[in-house]
Each structure stands twice: as C-alpha cells, then as structure tokens.
Homo-oligomer: A and B are copies of this chain.
C-alpha cells in the first residue's frame, strides 16, 4: 500500500508536442506485461541525462553516456523492464548496441541517436530477439498522449504508475511539462533503480540542458532513499521538444529560466517522492530535515545516516517513539568533531531532545502521537552552522523483506 499516493489522473498529463510514446508487450521476462516502450522525438529536441554513480553501471547507462556525448541529436529512447542488462560485461554492451541499431534502422536515424534503458533482474543476458521483435508494435502504438501507458510500461515492483504534469508561462507562452518515473526498491541517491523521464514543449538551448538535468536531479531524485542500495541502472532524462514557439531559453538564471525550472522541479520532486511513497513495503513517508550544519554535505550525511538506519526505519514502522535511535544515527554519521551537546531533535512540532539530552518538557505521548501519522518530519539541528539539507525516505516493514526475498520468484 503506497503512502498517500494515487494513480495519476490522465487528464493532468499533458501531451507534449514533438514527443510520441508507444508501449507494447514484448515478453522480455514474462508474458502479458507492458514491458517495452519507445519515446520518439521530432528533430531539434534538446536532451540531457543524469545517470547512476554505481561503478557497476549497466550496459545501457554506458551507452546513454556515450550517445549523449556524441551530440548528434537524440531521436528516440528505448526502454525495457524485466532485465537490467547489468553485470553482463562485454556481451551486455553488444546486446544493448544491437537493440539501438535495430530501432535506428526502423526509424531511419543513426544508432547514436537512440538512448537505451533497462530495468529488472541483474546479471541475466538481455533477450535481444524478443525486444527487437516487439519494436514494430511499439512504434505503431506511438502517440503524443500516451504518458499514462508509458508510466505503466516502465513499472517493475511499483504498485502504481507515477506521472505528473505541470505548466508554466515562458516568453508569454504557456508551456507544458509531463514526467513519469518508476522505482520502489534499490533506491538511494545518485540514484535509484529509478527511471525518470521529464519532457516539455518549451524551448531550451542544448547548452543549458546538462545543468538543468543536474539541478532537477539534485533537488529531487538525488534526495530520496528507500533502502540505501544505489542501482546499476538509474537514469533521469530531460527532454525539451522546443515546439512552444517562444524565444529559446539560454540561461536558467533569467526569469523565464527560473519559471521553467521551478515548474519542472515541481514535477521532478513529485516523481521522486512518489517513488518513496511507493517504496517497497512502505507504510510511512518520512521527511528528514537537517539544519545547523557547517555545509550542506554534512547535513546530507546526517540525513542519510538517519534515513538508512534499519533501527530507525523499524521504529517508524512500529510507530514506536524510540527516538534515541535517531540520536545514535546522528552520532555515527561521520562528522568527526560533532559536539553532541549542540544537538536539537524535533518530530514535527514536538521538541524531543535538547543539548544532546532528553528535553525535560518532552512527553512520550506527544512523540507517540506523531509516530502514528503516515507523514512525519524529523528535524535535527546540528547547532554548528547555517547550512541545511532535506532527504525523503520511508520505513522498513515486514513487507520489504517479503518483497525482496521473493522478487525473482
């Protein structure tokens, strides 16, 4: 049961001019699943991506980086579920290249204009024949309004499709943004078994795109964690089809750039938070705010130490205000000169700990009240500076163990 997350309302998802999506059942791993999607772009789109920091990055991630670096214009994305094509060595690269070449041939473009994405089981050979056999059906299915089907087509252990839309006024024109994401486990920053695709019809110079993609990732997907496992396949791709008819955005610092980035960040954050809300076995959505740090990096360290602690996560699952576990995680987060007597801890509006010890005014029933909520904010003030950062996570439940002990069966 996802936490305060519903299936998207298709009427809130904008068709994006210049971007068509097709989905089919290719039987990649099991029959009867929408497991193959293509996203086809008109010429002239600006495209950028942010990818996993995992050194065991999958073959498709390596090829995405290579094709984006070549810079001859991306014309299509090819996305399969059921198989991650990771831990597959040179053979995995060859298989991913083959699927790109086949799709390119069918579209009359170059293989380097295709971005491939795979998610699913690691260390199994990609079933190239089944994917290539499904391409014609996926291409035939392609339409601008197919976002909902695509959100379904990229799901793995997700219980709900994830898609959000937004609009903004840029250069006097209303532009549209639609994004989809998938992911529920092996989720942590930089990034998750997480795929995110955000498209807009706004006009953005290609030179600005890498920075835009990075800033969107940093404010959203790079701040969520379910289980601390950084996937081999994480990818966020941002597409501007450049068809809205306004003057092209050349900098994110202009009013138009800020307006567009703000609207896109809103979509990215909802998509990222949706992954946590649908986290494997999640029963609670936890916001962890750390303030008073000397820099944002140390705030992030503390936030992730809390977010990854199995003891903290099981206490949230149990609605047990065993809040010393949070202090313990603060203590081992890796700030070598942290002074525990400067620490303040709040749970929503409840002031739990002060100067590193229990707040004399804290009452267990107040902590209990907050712990029973489905949405909880933990706020730690480190008392040593003015920096802040925020991370979103979920609890650790029996269902998490069940899902991950049974995933392949």
Contact = CB atoms under 8 A, between A and B. Distances in A.
B402 A398 contact: yes
B327 A230 contact: no
B398 A87 contact: no
A82 to B, nearest CB: 14
A73 to B, nearest CB: 29
A407 B311 CA distance: 10
Nearest to A86: B324
Given A328-B122, A358-B87, A335 B55 contact: yes
Given A55-B332, A311-B186, A327-B87, A357 B398 contact: no
A339 B406 CA distance: 31
A330 interface: yes
A102 interface: no
B324 A123 contact: yes
A406 B318 contact: yes
Q: How large is the interface on A (under 10, 10 to 19, 20 to 34, 35 or more residues)?
A: 35 or more
B398 A328 contact: no
B320 A405 contact: yes
Q: Name the residue among A121, A229, A308, A401 with the largest chain B CB count within 10 angstroms.
A: A401
A232 interface: yes
B56 A330 contact: yes
A407 B336 CA distance: 29
A405 B84 contact: no
A54 B356 CA distance: 13
A47 to B, nearest CB: 25
A401 B408 contact: no
Contacts of A339: 55
Given A54-B331, A56-B331, A358-B89, A404 B315 contact: yes
B90 A357 contact: yes
A57 B357 CA distance: 12
A74 interface: no
A338 interface: yes
Given A324-B123, A328-B122, A332-B230, A310 B88 contact: no
A353 interface: yes
Contact of A357 (B91, B328, B358): B91
Interface string A30-67: 00000000000000000000000111110000000000
A54 B302 CA distance: 12
A409 interface: yes
A122 B276 CA distance: 28
A118 to B, nearest CB: 12
Contacts of A332: 53-56, 229-230
A94 to B, nearest CB: 11
Given A123-B327, A227-B310, A228-B310, 7 more contacts: A84-B324, A228-B309, A310-B310, A310-B396, A314-B401, A318-B404, A320-B408
30 contacts: A54-B328, A55-B330, A56-B356, A87-B324, A87-B358, A88-B358, A89-B341, A91-B357, A121-B324, A123-B327, A227-B309, A227-B311, A229-B310, A229-B325, A229-B328, A229-B329, A229-B332, A230-B332, A310-B310, A310-B396, A310-B400, A310-B404, A314-B401, A315-B405, A317-B405, A320-B405, A320-B408, A320-B409, A322-B407, A400-B401
Interchain residue pairs A-B with the least CB separation, the first 6? A89-B357, A122-B324, A56-B331, A318-B405, A123-B324, A314-B404
